[in-house]
């Protein structure tokens, strides 16, 4: 098998693509055209049919030295309610990752991965249970968003056709989200701040107003609490949306659920969050996986309310999703409502209970993993 060209076009910002074209002796106009093909047309090949406005000599060079970095789909699965589709995507080295397309009323979200596996080992998370293999490259992160955007386009083009057994995902309807991808959450496999440079480069590419144009505030990074990464985000004043997985309000309880808390203790994490909010003026979303009897009692609600007092914060409550490696029980909806009521009434702290999506296909929060 011949080696694939080493230059992955999805690794490059628009500026870098233009400079690469200059090095090849091609005009910037052609680089801009290629960029449009990549991110507006969502092209899947260098063929003249797909990229008719590129001269043959440019296409020849691209074919020889660059790749589109498309991640082939090994498997796709639809949830029974038709709102979620999970893609198992193959990487060039044979590793695989999962990416999820979620439809909510009025919006579509791509949940993408930043690593193969994860080193953080959160006890209730299927990705943590599988361990860490490697970081994803910027191009592999971008390719997931492009994949979802392309799938949305294909689905909207075929939505007028009769639905088949193998195409259960709900088509675009008036009460449903339009087919353009507008939201990306880095909540798939991996800890994004453990792969900081690649994730930030990918975010820059996703945000490019002449490309996918995903607004910075619609790109959410979810971290388990990697303190140096939070401080770097603050220092660089990146306008991305930050979610911090808290899950417990004492060091002892938190480190039992999130081993990374031993490295970055709760007091250091909260100090970093305070610095982040003060420096950027941005509110942080604090995530709290609700596990019956472990962290869902009124006392736990008061503990998190006290911990977050005075911080610009919103709490996202996520009833535990089942995984084979953890025997915790999801909270009951009554306990979630009481938790929320205490946060609102006693601490004036806004919160939401996360809509559950894709649980039956293991595409919910903490469920993504590749079977060995």
Residues annotated catalytic, as ranges: 98, 365
Count of other CB atoms within 10 angstroms of residue 234: 20
Measured from the CB atom, the residue of 143 and 224 that comes closer to ligand SF4 is 224
Measured from the CB atom, the residue of 11 and 191 that comes closer to ligand SF4 is 191
Q: State how beta strands 313-319 and 351-353 pair.
A: parallel
Residue 8 per-residue DSSP state: E
Measured from the CB atom, the residue of 118 and 342 that comes closer to ligand SF4 is 118
Minimum CB–partner distance for residue 278 and ligand SF4 (Å):
25
Residue 314 backbone dihedrals phi, psi, to 5 degrees: -135, 145
| Long-range pairs, 152-158, Cβ under 8 A, ≥24 | 152/101, 152/108, 152/179, 152/180, 152/181, 153/42, 153/179, 155/179
Place of tokens 């107003």: 209
Minimum CB–partner distance for residue 352 and ligand SF4 (Å):
18
The two structure tokens encoding residue 356? 């559950």
Query: What is the rounded distance in angstroms from the CA atom of residue 68 to the CA atom of residue 46?
Result: 8
Minimum CB–partner distance for residue 97 and ligand SF4 (Å):
12
| H or E stretch at 130 | helix 126-130
The two structure tokens encoding residue 176? 């449903």
Minimum CB–partner distance for residue 179 and ligand SF4 (Å):
28
Minimum CB–partner distance for residue 239 and ligand SF4 (Å):
22
Measured from the CB atom, the residue of 120 and 181 that comes closer to ligand SF4 is 120
Torsion sign, CA atoms 17, 23, 26, 27: positive
Measured from the CB atom, the residue of 251 and 279 that comes closer to ligand SF4 is 251
Minimum CB–partner distance for residue 160 and ligand SF4 (Å):
38
Among candidates 346, 258, 345, which has minimal Cα distance to 294? 258
C-alpha distances in angstroms, 89 versus 130, 159, 172, 337? 17, 24, 24, 37
Query: What is the rounded distance in angstroms from the CA atom of residue 98 to the CA atom of residue 86?
Result: 7
- Which residue number is nearest to ligand SF4 in terms of Cβ? 128
Measured from the CB atom, the residue of 152 and 368 that comes closer to ligand SF4 is 368
Residues binding ligand SF4 (CB under 6 A): 118, 120-122, 125, 127-128, 189-191, 224, 366
Query: What is the rounded distance in angstroms from the CA atom of residue 358 to the CA atom of residue 367?
Result: 10
């Amino acid at each position: 098998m011949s080696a694939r060209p080493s230059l992955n076009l999805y690794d490059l910002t628009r500026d870098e693509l233009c400079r690469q074209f200059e090095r090849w002796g091609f005009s910037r106009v052609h680089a801009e055209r290629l960029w449009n093909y990549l991110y507006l047309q969502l092209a899947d090949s260098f063929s003249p049919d797909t990229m008719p406005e590129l001269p043959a000599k440019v296409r020849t060079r691209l074919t020889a030295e660059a790749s589109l970095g498309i991640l082939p789909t090994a498997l796709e699965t639809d949830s029974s309610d038709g709102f979620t589709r999970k893609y198992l995507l193959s990487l060039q080295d044979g590793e695989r990752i999962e990416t999820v397309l979620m439809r909510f009323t009025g919006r579509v979200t791509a949940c993408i991965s930043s690593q193969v596996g994860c080193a953080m080992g959160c006890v209730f998370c299927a990705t943590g249970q599988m361990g860490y293999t490697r970081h994803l490259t910027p191009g592999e992160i971008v390719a997931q968003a492009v994949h979802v955007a392309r799938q949305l386009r294909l689905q909207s083009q075929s939505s007028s056709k009769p639905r088949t057994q193998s195409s259960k995902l709900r088509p675009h309807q008036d009460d449903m989200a339009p087919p353009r991808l507008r939201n990306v959450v880095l909540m798939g496999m991996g800890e994004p701040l453990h792969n900081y440079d690649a994730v930030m480069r990918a975010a820059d590419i996703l945000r490019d107003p002449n490309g996918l144009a995903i607004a910075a505030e619609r790109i959410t990074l979810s971290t388990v609490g990697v303190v140096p990464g939070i401080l770097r985000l603050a220092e660089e004043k990146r306008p991305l949306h930050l979610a911090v997985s808290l899950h417990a309000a004492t060091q002892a309880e938190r480190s039992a659920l999130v081993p990374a808390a031993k490295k970055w203790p709760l007091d250091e994490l909260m100090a970093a969050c305070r610095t982040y909010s003060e420096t950027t003026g941005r509110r942080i979303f604090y995530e709290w996986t609700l596990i019956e009897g472990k962290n869902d009692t009124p006392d736990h609600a008061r503990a998190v309310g006290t911990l977050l007092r005075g911080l610009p914060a919103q709490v996202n409550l996520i009833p535990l999703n089942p995984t084979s490696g953890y025997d915790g029980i999801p909270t009951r909806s009554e306990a979630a409502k009481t938790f929320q009521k205490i946060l609102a009434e006693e601490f004036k702290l806004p919160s939401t209970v996360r809509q559950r999506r894709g649980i039956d296909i293991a595409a919910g929060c903490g469920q993504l993993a590749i079977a060995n």
